[in-house]
């Protein structure tokens, strides 16, 4: 069984003048890649009682390679971070990822999940019987008690009996979601559950396989199906593409009914992604394409990691990783945040973008998601410099943005330790204005050592530099570290500058900061260690206040060591 390390940062009561600041807590669980089983927390949910329930994947080690098969699990924490309960919902079946959490109007907790009984539950993608592959999937609604035990279960058995065009690239190996149902995260509307699932199909060793049909349903909290509609849509892709559905908020309510952002390209319509508009009875009203704005190159750019959030003024915030298929730019993977005008009555041939921002590093970058605060500002989280195989020193970024995408603050967070790779997987703005962040980490010097972590930041952590530091957040980072010919300083501060010193204390560089990323040419520098320091003379972007300790004519707001190889 995995080794477990739990620590809680005790509630911090920090005085800044006469103001008291809130508490921050963190729960972190250590495991090792050589363990026979492990779990990763994925998506935080705040209940009406104030408890935090984190949707979790529990994995069993596979006998093929180093892959795992996911099974749903939940962890529940009190508002102060103390662990209240955990539960694993194992079945000898193949699950479609972590569970989805919903509540009824009485505050009773439910989860939804889908699974296929005839898969090998220890494996990433294999059927138990290739000669008679599964033709049935199951999705269920499960009522939970205060210890996350299932007290009522309502399951629906669905035939996987349709197929359309699929590419022939993977004839010899069925992909991970084949012959299964993949459940799209549901929503609650008028105390009814509105959700959808995608059928995927495969017959080994021949095709077709991949996403096939979309089914939308309305269900009450006793598990009764009230409405259901199915649609054949010309998806392009493979069963593995269904991974883009897992944990994604892709379905939400609109004035005309519901909107579903499809994460698959449509092969019969210019190889584009689409939005499906449904009426209140779940009939299709319209299908509109959306595409990349300002693509990275003339090559066929890929959109992945899609997450959406409805604004309070009938537009959609849409975050995605934009990837280029250009072989000469293999590491060109940027994070974008768009605001889309997806009014069903829009006459543009493609859903237009009202505004967007790009966040990028020298390697693969990945979006975590965004959430709204009461003042309509946004928390936006993403990970920079992830790398294809996660062997780089990455940085989890948390931005506080105005509705117009102006930067209020840009903060950085990571698991404690100097050589840690972390990747954010879940974000939630809490009712008290704070932020929950879920992320996975590994030790770059001992990649067998891993962690899964959930952290609660108080609202005050995003007010000023001193408050950010008190809660373990940074306002500037240096990368790549170690590096060679370029030292990048990333910060959202204004009226700031950077100074770099060698280990004898001699200043070797100084530059004003005018952009989010300041690139310093270090080609002529000697190999070894350097100390970088960022100073601010003003208040930084918008409301972010500097600390009180000053050095020279400015405030020292961040410092660190950088290694030139």
- Give the separation between CA 544 and CA 55, rounded to whole angstroms: 32
Q: According to the model, what pLDDT value does residue 127 have?
A: 62
CB 99 within 8 A of CB 91: no
Q: Which of 290, 320, 336 is the last residue of a domain?
A: 290
Condensed to tens digits (0 to 9), the pLDDT of residues 540-564 reads 443 454 444 444 568 899 999 999 9
What confidence score (pLDDT) does residue 117 get? 81
- Can you give the pLDDT at residue 345? 93
Once rounded to an integer, what is the mean pLDDT over residues 211-239?
Answer: 80
Q: What is the pLDDT of residue 558?
A: 93
Lowest mean pLDDT, pick from 239-253, 280-294, 359-373, 503-517 = 239-253
Number of domains in the chain: 2
- The highest-confidence range among 174-178, 239-243, 329-333, 336-340, by mean pLDDT, is 336-340
> Quick one: pLDDT at residue 266?
67
**What pTM value is reported for the model?**
0.86
DSSP-assigned states of every residue in 412-472: EE--SSSSEEEEEEEEEE-TTS-EEEEEEEEETTEEEEEEEEEEEE-GGGGTBHHHHHHTT
- pLDDT of residue 465 exceeding 80, the answer is yes
Q: Are 195 and 253 in contact (CB under 8 A)?
A: no
Residue 198 binned pLDDT confidence (cut-offs 50, 70, 90): confident
Most confident of 135-139, 192-196, 266-270: 192-196
pLDDT at 54 over 60: yes
Examine residue 205 and say whether the peptide bond preceding it is cis (omega within 30 degrees of 0).
yes
**CATH, residue 553:** 2.60.40
**Terminal C-alpha separation, the chain:** 39
Residue with tokens 């069925």: 174
Question: In the chain, how long is the greatest CA-to-CA distance?
Answer: 76
User: Tokens standing for 421?
Assistant: 């790779």
The residue that leads in pLDDT, 449 or 548, is 449
The two structure tokens encoding residue 59: 């994995």
Whether 508 maps to a domain, the answer reads yes
What is the rounded CA–CA span in Å between residue 159 and residue 215?
A: 12
Residue 113 C-beta-side C-alpha neighbours within 13 Å: 28
pLDDT at 472 over 50: yes
Please state, rounded to an integer, the average pLDDT across all residues of the chain: 81
Residues 6+ apart with CB under 8 A from 387: 363, 364, 394, 421
For residue 212, pLDDT over 70 is answered with no
- Chain-centroid distance of CA 404 in Å reads 22
Q: Which residue has the higher pLDDT, 176 or 102?
A: 102
The sheet with strand 316-323 has its strands ordered as 302-310, 316-323, 333-340, 353-359
Cα–Cα dist 295/316, whole Å: 20
Residue with tokens 């590096």, as numbered in its chain: 483
* Residue 60 in this model has a pLDDT that exceeds 60: yes
How does residue 15 score in pLDDT terms, banded at 50, 70 and 90?
very low
Higher pLDDT, 124 or 309: 309
Residue 545 lies in a domain: yes
Residue-level pLDDT at 116: 81
Mean pLDDT of 419-441: 93
The DSSP symbol for 224 reads: -
Pair 276, 262: CB distance under 8 Å: yes
Q: What is the DSSP letter of 14?
A: -
Q: Which of 63-77, 178-192, 346-360 comes out lowest in average pLDDT?
A: 63-77
Residue pointed to by tokens 């974008």: 336
The answer to whether 279 and 301 have CB atoms below 8 angstroms apart is: no
203 found inside a domain: yes
The answer to whether residue 519 is domain-embedded is yes
Question: Whole-angstrom Cα distance, residue 192 to residue 202?
Answer: 33
Mean pLDDT of 15-43: 72
Residue 50 maps to a domain: no
Tell me whether residue 177 is in a domain.
Answer: yes
- Pick from 254, 274, 290: which residue ends a domain? 290
Percent of the chain with pLDDT over 90: 48
pLDDT at 124 over 80: no
Give tens-digit pLDDT for 479-528.
888 888 999 998 888 889 999 999 999 999 999 998 888 999 999 999 99
Question: CA-CA distance, 148 to 562, in Å (whole number)?
Answer: 46
Q: How many CB atoms lie within 10 A of CB 416?
A: 12
In the predicted structure, residue 171 carries a pLDDT above the cut 50: no
Q: How confident is the model at residue 49 (pLDDT cuts 50, 70, 90)?
A: very high
Asked if residues 224 and 217 have their Cβ atoms less than 8 Å apart, the reply is: no
In three state form, how does the secondary structure of 124-193 look?
CCCECCCCCCCCEEEEEEEEECCCCCEEEEEEEEEECCCCCCCCCCCCCCCCCCCCCEEEEEEEEECCEE
What's the confidence (pLDDT) of residue 4? 35
Pairwise CA distance, residues 21 & 254, whole Å: 37
How confident is the model over 88-116, as a mean pLDDT? Answer: 89
Do residues 249 and 217 make contact, with C-beta atoms less than 8 angstroms apart?
Answer: no
Query: Which of 12-21, 143-152, 414-423, 514-523 has the lowest average pLDDT?
Result: 12-21
Residue 44's pLDDT is what?
96
For residue 407, what pLDDT band results from cuts at 50, 70 and 90?
A: confident
pLDDT for 28 beyond 90? yes
* Lookup result for tokens 């000898």: 92
| pLDDT the model gives residue 137 | 84
Q: Assess if residue 403 is contained within a domain.
A: no
Tokens coding 129: 């019987």
494: its two tokens: 């204004």
Q: Tens digits of per-residue pLDDT, 320-334?
A: 888 766 666 555 788
Tokens of 37: 């089983």
pLDDT of residue 181: 76
Give the per-residue pLDDT at 329. Answer: 58
Question: How many residues are present in the chain?
Answer: 565
Which stretch, 120-129, 391-400, 469-478, has highest mean pLDDT?
A: 469-478
User: Binning pLDDT at 50, 70 and 90, where does residue 136 land?
Assistant: confident
pLDDT(129) > 70: no
Report yes or no on 172 lying in a domain: yes
Confidence of residue 154 (pLDDT cuts 50, 70, 90): very high
Token reading at 259: 């909107």
Q: Would you call 316 helix, strand, or coil by DSSP?
A: strand
352 pLDDT higher than 80: yes
In DSSP notation, 62-118 reads -SSTT-EEEEEEEEEE-TTS-EEEEEE---SSEE-SS-EEEE-TT--EEEEEEEETT
Looking at residue 286, its pLDDT comes to 92
Beta strands 206-219 and 225-232: pairing type? antiparallel
Of 249, 275, 290, which one is at a domain's C-terminal end? 290
Q: What is the pLDDT of residue 235?
A: 61
Q: What SS3 class is residue 45?
A: strand
Domain that holds residue 229: 106-290
- What distances in angstroms separate CA 364 from CA 8, 17, 317, 334, one per listed residue? 31, 42, 22, 7
């Amino acid at each position: 069984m995995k080794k477990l390390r739990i620590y809680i940062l005790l509630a911090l009561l920090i005085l800044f003048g006469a103001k008291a600041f809130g508490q921050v807590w963190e729960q972190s669980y250590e495991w090792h890649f050589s363990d026979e089983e492990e779990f990763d927390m994925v998506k935080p949910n705040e209940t009406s009682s104030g408890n935090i329930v984190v949707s979790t994947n529990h994995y069993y080690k596979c006998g093929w390679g180093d892959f795992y098969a996911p099974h749903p699990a939940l962890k529940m924490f009190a508002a102060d971070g103390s662990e209240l309960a955990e539960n694993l919902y194992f079945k000898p079946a193949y699950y479609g990822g972590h569970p989805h959490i919903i509540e009824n109007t009485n505050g009773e907790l439910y989860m939804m999940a889908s699974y296929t009984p005839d898969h090998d539950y220890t494996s990433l993608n294999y059927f138990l019987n290739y000669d008679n592959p599964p033709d049935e999937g199951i999705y269920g609604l499960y009522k939970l008690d205060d210890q996350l035990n299932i007290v009522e279960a309502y399951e629906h058995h669905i035939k996987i009996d349709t197929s359309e065009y699929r590419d022939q690239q993977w004839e010899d190996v069925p992909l991970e979601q084949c012959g299964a149902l993949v459940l799209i995260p549901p929503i609650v509307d008028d105390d009814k559950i509105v959700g959808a699932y995608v059928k995927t199909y495969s017959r080994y060793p021949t095709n077709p396989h991949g996403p096939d049909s979309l089914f939308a349903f309305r269900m009450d909290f006793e598990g009764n199906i009230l409405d259901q509609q199915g649609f054949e849509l010309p998806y392009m892709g493979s069963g593995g593409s269904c991974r883009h559905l897992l944990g994604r908020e892709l379905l939400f309510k609109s004035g005309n009914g519901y909107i579903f952002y499809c994460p698959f390209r449509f092969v019969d319509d210019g190889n584009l992604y689409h939005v499906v508009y449904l009426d209140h009875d779940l009939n299709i009203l319209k299908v509109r394409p959306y595409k990349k704005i300002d693509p990275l190159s003339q090559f066929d750019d890929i959109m992945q990691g899609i997450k959406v959030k409805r604004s309070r003024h009938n537009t959609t915030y849409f975050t995605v990783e934009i990837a280029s298929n250009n072989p000469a730019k293999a590491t060109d993977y940027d994070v974008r945040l768009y605001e889309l005008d997806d009014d069903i009555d829009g006459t543009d041939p493609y859903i237009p973008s009202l505004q967007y921002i790009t966040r990028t590093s020298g390697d693969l970058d990945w979006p975590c998601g965004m959430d709204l605060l009461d003042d309509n500002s946004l928390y936006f989280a993403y990970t920079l410099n992830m790398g294809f195989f996660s062997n780089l020193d990455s940085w989890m970024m948390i931005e506080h943005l105005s509705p117009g995408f102006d930067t209020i603050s840009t903060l950085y967070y990571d698991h404690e330790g100097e050589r840690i790779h972390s990747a954010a997987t879940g974000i939630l703005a809490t009712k008290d204005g704070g932020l929950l962040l879920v992320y996975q980490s590994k030790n770059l010097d001992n990649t067998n050592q891993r962690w899964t972590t959930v952290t609660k930041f108080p609202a005050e952590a995003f007010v000023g530099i001193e408050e950010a530091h008190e809660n373990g957040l940074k306002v500037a980072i240096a990368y790549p570290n170690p590096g060679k010919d370029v030292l990048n300083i990333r910060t959202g501060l204004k009226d700031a500058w950077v100074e770099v010193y060698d280990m004898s204390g001699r200043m070797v560089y100084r530059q004003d900061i005018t952009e989010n990323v300041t690139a310093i040419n270090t080609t002529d520098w000697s190999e070894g260690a350097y100390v970088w320091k960022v100073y601010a003379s003003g208040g930084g972007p918008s409301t972010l206040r500097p600390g009180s300790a000053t050095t020279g004519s400015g405030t020292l707001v961040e410092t660190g060591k950088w290694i030139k190889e």
